[in-house]
Amino acid sequence: VIVVGAALLMADHLAREGIDGPEMYALMLVSAAGGVVMAGADDLVVLFLGLETLSIAVYVMVGLHLKRLESLEAGLKYFVMGAFSSAFLLYGIALVYGATGSTNLVTISAYLGSVVIADDAMLLAGFALLLVGFGFKVAAVPFHAWTPDVYQGAPSPVVAYMGGAVKIAAFAALVRTFVVTFTVYSDDWRPAVYALAVATLVVGAVLAVVQGDVKRMLAYSSIVHAGFVLVAVESAGDRGVAAALFYLATYAVLVLGSFGIITVVSGPGDRATRLADLDGLAARRPALALAFTVLLLAQAGVPLTSGFVAKFEVVTAAVDAHSYWLAGVAMVAAVVAAFVYLRILLSLYLGRPAADAPAIAVPGLAGAVIAVAVAVTLVVGMVPGPLHDLATDAVPRLILGA
C-alpha cells in the first residue's frame, strides 16, 4: 500500500518537475523487495542482504533529483552514514556468529535457550553493534543525525516512502532479531532499548519544536514516532509487538498523507517548505488545509484518530511490562511534540499568505492519496478493531514465521 501511494505521489512530482524518471519506480520496487526479504529473513546474513538491497535503492532515490543540490547532498550524506551503520551491523552479525556458531535465527534461539555461555562478552558486543545498525535505520537517537537533512533534501514522495516502508522493514527485522531470537538475553538488551527509547523521545520532541522548516519538523517528529515504537519493542512481549505493528501501520499512512500534502504545496523543486510558506493555506486551499489538520492531529494523538489509538496501545503495552517511567516519558514527549503540530496549524489558519504566493494546484493522483490517508486515519480512529486484530494475528507470523 505504501509503495503504491508513494508511486502515485511520485508520478505527479515527476510531471511537475519535468523529469522523465521511470528509474524511480524500478528503484522503489527493488527497495520494497529488499524490505520484504529483510522483514521475513530467518538468517542474519539474508537479513543483511535484504537491508543492503533496500538501502542502496533508497540512497539513489534520495539523490536522484539532479536539478537540486540539496538532493545530491542528502543522498551522499545518507549513503556515507548508511555505509558506517551497515559495517556495524555486519560486525555485530560476525560476533553473534562467533559466539553461537550460526547465523540462523532459529538455531541461535535454540542454542541460547539450551546452552549457558560462560563468557558472553562477544555475544553482548554483537547485540550492541546490531542495535547500532538497526538504530540508524529507524532513526533512533543518537543515530538520527542524517534524518532532518535527508528529509529536507530528498524529494517529498521519496520521504513518504522512507517514512513508511523503510521503518516498517527495519523495525520488523529488529523485532525478529531481538524480541524473538535473543529473548533469553532480554534482561541484557532491554535496558539498552529502554535508553534508546528515552533518548529518542526526548531529543526528537525538543528539537522538533525549534525547527522552522516543515520537512525538518516532520523529520524530528518521525524520530519521536520511532521512540514510541521502541517503547513497544522494549516491552518484549506479544502485546508490545502487536502495539509496534499497529503503530507502524498507522504512522505509515499518516506520513504518506502528510508528505503528499507537502508534495503539493512545496512547488517546483520542493523549495516552498518553510513554515511561512504554509501561511493562510486554509484560505487558499480549504480542503487541503482540513486534510492536513486531520493528519497533524492524528500525529499529535488526538482522540478519534488512528494516532490516539496507536499511542494508547504502546503506552498500555509499556505499563503491562511494568515500564512505568518509560510510559510516562512517552506521554510527556507526545505533549511536547504536539506543540510542533500546533505551530503548523496556526500557520495554516492564522497566517497571512504573501501577496505573490503562487496558486496551489492539487493533481488528481496526489489528491486521491491524501483523501485515502485521511479516510483511513479517521476510520481506524473510530473503529480500530479490525486493524488491531490484524496486528495481533500478525505477531505469530512475524515471530515464528508461521
What gap in Å lies between CA 58 and CA 253, rounded to an integer? 19
pLDDT interval class at 399 (50, 70, 90): low
Predicted model pTM: 0.91
- Is pLDDT larger for residue 399 or for residue 243? 243
CA angle 370, 174, 372 (to 5 degrees): 10
What gap in Å lies between CA 111 and CA 184, rounded to an integer? 10
pLDDT score for 328: 93
pLDDT score for 110: 86
% of the chain residues with pLDDT over 70: 95
Please write the tens of the pLDDT for every residue from 106-138: 888 888 878 777 567 888 899 999 999 999 988
Q: What φ, ψ does residue 26 adopt, rounded to 5°?
A: -65, -45
User: Over 50: is that where the pLDDT of 376 sits?
Assistant: yes
What gap in Å lies between CA 280 and CA 246, rounded to an integer? 34
Q: How far, CA to CA in Å, does 116 sit from each of 113, 121, 235?
A: 8, 13, 24
Please write the tens of the pLDDT for every residue from 9-47: 888 878 877 777 788 888 889 999 999 898 888 899 999
pLDDT interval class at 356 (50, 70, 90): low
Closest among 47, 1, 15 to 252, alpha carbons compared: 1
* Mean pLDDT in residue range 275-304: 88
* Ranges of each domain in the chain: 2-400
pLDDT interval class at 272 (50, 70, 90): low
pLDDT score for 155: 84
For 207-324, list the strands marked E by DSSP: none
pLDDT interval class at 402 (50, 70, 90): very low
Q: Residue 318 carries which side chain, given as an amino acid letter?
A: A
Closest among 151, 147, 157, 150 to 19, alpha carbons compared: 157
**Residue 357: all three cell numbers together:** 504566493
User: What length does the chain have?
Assistant: 402
**Residue 81: all three cell numbers together:** 552514514
Mean pLDDT for all residues in the chain: 87
% of the chain residues with pLDDT over 90: 37
pLDDT score for 196: 93
User: Over 90: is that where the pLDDT of 360 sits?
Assistant: no
User: Over 70: is that where the pLDDT of 278 sits?
Assistant: yes
